[in-house]
Amino acid sequence: MGEHFKSYSAVMPVIINRKEGKTQILLHRRKDTGYEDGKWDMSGSGHVDEGETAKMAVVREAKEELGININIDDLSFAHLAHRVSSSGGRTYYDMYFLVEKFEGIPKIMEPNKASELKWFDLEYLPSDIMSIRKLVIDNIKNNITYSELIEN
């Protein structure tokens, strides 16, 4: 019997700030990662490590990449995106969690992976955001909790 297919899990905190009647989302510009560099992405995203749950990974990645502390109980599930590569690349399960409470001021802790960090109005996302993230943000705004995407 052959080996089971391997897929990867990643977490994407959807860090939200509500003020003056507006909702903002924190994004960072990717740099030197080899994937979608130069585009805006979810801040504090990363892979789920062996032995940790998705929520544990969100807490760890937010601390490592943004220097902020998140209470695991303050996370709420927002979306699962199943990304499949049609060209032999990796298959991912991307798990998105809303983060509306955290301690600290977000800053770039890994300048080798991100060149900018900025709050954007949720209704006016940058045109150079990663297309898969834009799709998921739209799904989250429309209360759609699951999507599938086949990438080339």
Q: pTM score, two decimals?
A: 0.94
Is residue 2 in some structural domain?
no
Is residue 4 in some structural domain?
no
CATH number at residue 18: 3.90.79.10
Output phi, psi for 3, to 5 deg: -75, 145
Q: How many domains does the chain have?
A: 1
pLDDT in tens, the chain (152 residues): 677 778 899 999 999 999 889 999 999 999 999 889 999 999 999 999 999 999 999 999 999 999 999 999 999 999 999 999 878 778 999 999 999 999 999 999 999 999 999 999 999 999 999 999 999 999 999 999 999 998 87
Is residue 109 in some structural domain?
yes
Domain containing 122: what range?
9-151
Is residue 49 in some structural domain?
yes
Is residue 3 in some structural domain?
no
Query: Which residue matches tokens 């030197």?
Result: 32
Length of the chain: 152
